[in-house]
Chains A and B, each alone.
Chain A
Amino acid sequence: MEDTILTLITFFPTIGVLLLVMVPKERHDSIKAVALIISFVTMLLSFMLWSMFDPVANGMQLELDLPWIVSFGIHYHMGIDGISLVLIVMTTILSVLSILSSWRSITKGVKGFFISMLLLETGMLGVFCSLDLFMFYVFWEVMLVPMYFLIGVWGGPRRIYAAIKFVLFTMFGSLLMLVAILYVLFQYQAFSGEYSFDMIKLLSMPIPYREQLWLFGAFALAFAIKVPLWPFHTWLPDAHVEAPTAGSVILAGVLLKMGTYGFLRICLPMFPDATMTYLPYICVLSLIAIIYGALVAMVQKDVKSLVAFSSVSHMGFVMVGMFALNFQGLQGSVLQMINHGISTGALFLLVGMIYERRHTRMISEFGGLAKVMPFFAAVFMIITLSSIGLPLTNGFVGEFLILLGVFKANSVYGIVAASGVILSACYMLWMYQRVFFGKVTKPENERLNDLSWREKLIMVPLVLLVFWIGIYPQPLLERMEPAVKQVLQHVSRAQTVRMDERYQIQKVVHHPENPTRAMCGLTQGDESCLR
């Protein structure tokens, strides 16, 4: 069980796909039931994974390593650390909820829809479980296909444009990443004499500074498009707005995290020197994303696109926290990935619920909903506050840790990032006010039903998660801690491990006064000893 649990979790949804293929397409209820049960069992398995995971151990756990394509040294290598653990659990939870949310809203092509959802789940879990770069890439790409169908078939009016844009943007980045992966492979072969895509083994290889710059660039482009970092974000509003509710939830909740996860798992540990060089640029882009996303969100007329742009802003937080490159920043960054998955996922679900009732998402069409739908309004409020980052909600913990880390690293960045928190309060609360408060202006809104038991069932776990992480985040933080420290340790190799290399000298000459080096705790004395 120890070594097969990850495989089981990853491919359990695929078993569901095979079952669904056999169900006749008219049997909607059976199809939905199968999809729900499969995703529910997957979630239970991921809880089991949580309990099997040793919170204090260092390194990868629950590994399984089998040869797959022998001539290229490609292995079927799975394993997790704390960061992937929390992401896996979040993925399985969101999958169940989004399948549940599609119960009514999907009427045509029911079978195809749930097949796509389950395939998507396998793809996402695979990305978080893979420790082999080739496998990572395969899952990364595989996931595009069901998402393409989800947006293109079950999406809104501009779904075709959005679907193609989504695939082309992601493909562009990931194909360059493929070249980089191949380059790393042959570098490693030259270094150690064997072919290997093993992410852990690859870390032992020193890569010359100049090559790191290129490789980091190729990987970072793929991840930055996925995150999405400003200015690569333009696919996101289209995809989020046009996708069906379940698609938006998964997109925002999980797919965007794959970008930041890629940075954490590959870019930072593998190319520490390049990380140092690119750091200011990525920080500036993230800060632009925070402010720009918030400002654009403020002027949106459509609630769903408001939530979409708020994602750009929140992911900017995750990125800037990560690139603070200190313990608090990274912890906050990973926690904020989870928080964003919960709160933005919940927001998309809520928007989907109101859309099912009114078939519009325009803010101007609503007003005074608090009187008509009190339960809905209350849940929406809680999620709004969690998204803003009010104390006692999950958003607060994440944003606080991020801001703490960023201020420690660079106070100017910290000030800009903090202003993003204020802006997010502006657009969220303003939207909430216009939708829920005041008088009921439209007659159509007067007889809206409050949430059904199914919808309550979807929202209650999310609300519980909001408060649980908000009040007692320790179980999450302590599981992430060893993994985060490991990442930091790898990044700090930039100065320590490679002193004896000839590249080192060139590098230091290159960047004699790189102010960002101070971030990793490198003192002036270390600099001079390198010289």
Chain B
Amino acid sequence: MGDEVVALEYEKMIDFTSASINFELIYSEISLLVAAFLILLTAFQRHLARLAPLVALVGIAVSFYFALQQWGNQMSGFFGMITCDDFGTAFKLLFLVVAALTLLIAHRFLIVKRISSPEFYALLLVSTMGMMVMANTTDLLVMFLGLEIMSVPLYVMAGYARRSLASNEAGIKYFIMGAFASAFLLLGIAFVFGASGTTDLRQIVADYSFIVSNFQNYLYAGAALILIGFGFKIAAVPFHAWVPDVYHGAPTPVTAFFSVGPKAAGFAVMLRIFLFGFEQMEMLTELFWVLAVLTMTVGNILALRQNNVKRMLAYSSIAHAGYILVALCVGGNDAMSAAVFYLVAYAMFNLGAFAVIVLLETRSGCKSDFSELSGLSSSAPYLSAVLALFMFALAGFPPTVGFLGKFYIFSAAVKSGYILLTVIAVMNSFLSVYYYLRIVKTSYFETFEGTFAPAPYSPAIMVVLFITAVGTLGLGFFPDRVLEFSQSALFAFL
């Protein structure tokens, strides 16, 4: 009842603009697209190709500026297809930061691996734009559209190392799984449309009781299918099987992007669909409970035995999706702001960890096995110190932001009375301590007999490491600003 009123008010607030075509809403998307096309144009002027990363960075910066302008505004346009609220804008900003950091991580790596070409940056920008579309709509079909805009470049990026078999495999595998997931998602949207006659979540919320009383089964089936579709994207167990191979095979900067960007986009949409659109659906709680427990536990247990850092981080990213699923299960404002905060925090230290791995991989012959890290503390003391910092953050040690992220999610869960779920989550993060500390152990406690060329100096990656390390520690001490940010991001849901 109360939610109906909220939804109606929400509609009233946006009504007078929603019918118009309001380009202001998509300035930030447009700027990314313009940058992407400018980069593609360099195909005709090859000597300009090396400007591509610069153009991309400028595009991201401009887009960031426009996104910031939208902060605090709540508008809808394109006949309700695009909705700007703080929730969406928060995610927009997150995606842009992730894209910029990925770009900085990738630049040097691509050159060293001889796969550098301007198209990579164009793909990155288009994919980011897709994520932004996903986060800024309440319409299921537009979400699907955004998802495809995001995914298609990702398929290409996964297979970007053309001469590497593993990378090709990663591309194909990701494509097949992605297509499969999209099919589920589309079927789910069709069911929901069949039950409700609309694809707009706001409409569904408004008519919820009517829909449920008449077409409950269709709506539930639709929700479940949508859940499966996004389950693939965020790598929830049992839809996770593609993750290790794709993460392992893809070029490492792309893996870094995978583990953060699409995951955050998937969660942005899931938060909107399941905690706003289908908020009143009781079955979801149990579904997410099971999903969260499975995802955390399977991810952590499989990560224990990995001998490759990338594969380990792949499983760890599954586990982290599990922690965020806890927030989805709990529901409510606290849990949602905890999820947003966690995504921001996770993006920070996970990208940082990947940046270290990328830097190490630019040494020739490095496959990022655990054994290659041994003795890192003596050959590269500062690098191994930041790597250790990121591992402690991933494991959730205070005073890093990794601890606070978990703290907020767990506190939301405890507050709503999910004690058992919290205990399971806590035991999972206990398991994870083992394998994250294995990296610290290898780099600090073991000595390496062979010789590796010292990691080459890369200013771009240094910048990334600096930003992520300062963020990981700084936000651990003073999280108030980001916390407020993640709380005010929920304005649309209040």
A→B interface (CB under 8 Å): 25, 69-72, 109, 112, 137-138, 141-142, 144-145, 148-149, 152-153, 159-160, 163-164, 167-168, 171-172, 175-176, 178-179, 182-183, 185-186
Contacts and interface: CB of A to CB of B under 8 A. Distances in A.
Given A164-B434, A175-B430, A182-B422, A71 B483 contact: yes
Contacts of B487: 71
A179 B423 contact: yes
Contacts of A141: 397-398, 403
Contact of B445 (A69, A159, A167, A179): A159
Contact of B415 (A153, A163, A176, A186): A186
B257 interface: no
B434 A72 contact: no
Contact of B426 (A71, A168, A179, A186): A179
Nearest to B395: A171
Contacts of B410: 178-179, 182
Contacts of A70: 480
Contacts of A25: 381
Interface string B449-480: 00000000000000000000000000000011
Contacts of A109: 377-378
A490 to B, nearest CB: 24
Given A142-B398, A178-B426, A186-B415, A168 B433 contact: yes
A167 B433 contact: yes
A186 B414 contact: yes
> Which interface residue of B434, B445, B483, B484 has the most chain A CB atoms within 10 A?
B445
A145 B397 CA distance: 9
B420 to A, nearest CB: 10
B397 to A, nearest CB: 6
Given A72-B411, A152-B444, A185-B411, A167 B437 contact: yes
Nearest to A140: B398
B434 A168 contact: yes
Nearest to A173: B430
B434 A138 contact: no
Contact of A182 (B377, B411, B441): B411
Contacts of B377: 109, 112
A137 B423 contact: no
Nearest to A176: B426
A167 B429 CA distance: 13
Contact of A69 (B381, B392, B437, B480): B480
A69 B423 contact: no
Given A69-B483, A179-B414, A164 B437 contact: yes
Nearest to B408: A72
Given A163-B445, A182-B422, 17 more contacts: A69-B483, A72-B411, A109-B377, A109-B378, A141-B398, A142-B397, A145-B397, A152-B445, A153-B444, A160-B445, A164-B437, A168-B430, A171-B430, A171-B433, A172-B430, A178-B407, A178-B410
Interface of B: 377-378, 381, 392, 397-399, 403, 407, 410-411, 414-415, 419, 422-423, 426-427, 429-430, 433-434, 437, 440-441, 444-446, 479-480, 483-484, 487
Nearest to B446: A160
A393 to B, nearest CB: 39
A183 B377 CA distance: 40
Contacts of A142: 397-399
Nearest to A190: B415
A138 B433 contact: no
A132 to B, nearest CB: 13
A148 B479 contact: no
B403 A179 contact: no
A69 B377 CA distance: 34
A416 B354 CA distance: 57
B419 to A, nearest CB: 7
27 contacts: A25-B381, A109-B377, A138-B399, A142-B397, A142-B398, A145-B392, A148-B440, A152-B445, A153-B444, A153-B445, A160-B446, A164-B437, A167-B437, A168-B433, A168-B434, A172-B430, A175-B427, A176-B423, A178-B410, A179-B419, A179-B423, A182-B411, A182-B414, A182-B415, A182-B422, A186-B411, A186-B415
Given A142-B398, A178-B407, A71 B437 contact: no
Nearest to A144: B397
A395 B381 CA distance: 44
Contact of A160 (B429, B441, B479): B441
B484 A71 contact: yes
Q: Which 8 A-B pairs have the closest CB atoms?
A: A182-B414, A138-B398, A175-B426, A152-B445, A182-B411, A141-B398, A186-B415, A160-B445
Contacts of B407: 178, 182
Contacts of B483: 69, 71
A370 to B, nearest CB: 38
A313 to B, nearest CB: 29
Contacts of A137: 398
A505 B423 CA distance: 30
Contacts of B444: 149, 152-153
Contacts of B403: 138, 141
Nearest to A195: B411
Contacts of B445: 152-153, 159-160, 163
Contacts of B381: 25
A180 to B, nearest CB: 9
Nearest to B410: A182
Contacts of A163: 441, 445
A47 to B, nearest CB: 28
A384 B399 CA distance: 40
B434 A183 contact: no
A417 B262 CA distance: 62
B371 to A, nearest CB: 14
Nearest to B392: A145
Nearest to A67: B480
A149 B389 CA distance: 13
> Which interface residue of B411, B427, B487 has the most chain A CB atoms within 10 A?
B411
Contacts of A148: 437, 440
A501 B427 CA distance: 35
B149 to A, nearest CB: 35
A186 B422 CA distance: 14
A442 B432 CA distance: 49
Contacts of B434: 164, 168
Contacts of B414: 179, 182-183, 185-186
Contacts of A171: 430, 433
Nearest to A170: B433
A138 B444 CA distance: 24
A416 B441 CA distance: 43
Contacts of B430: 168, 171-172, 175
B481 to A, nearest CB: 11
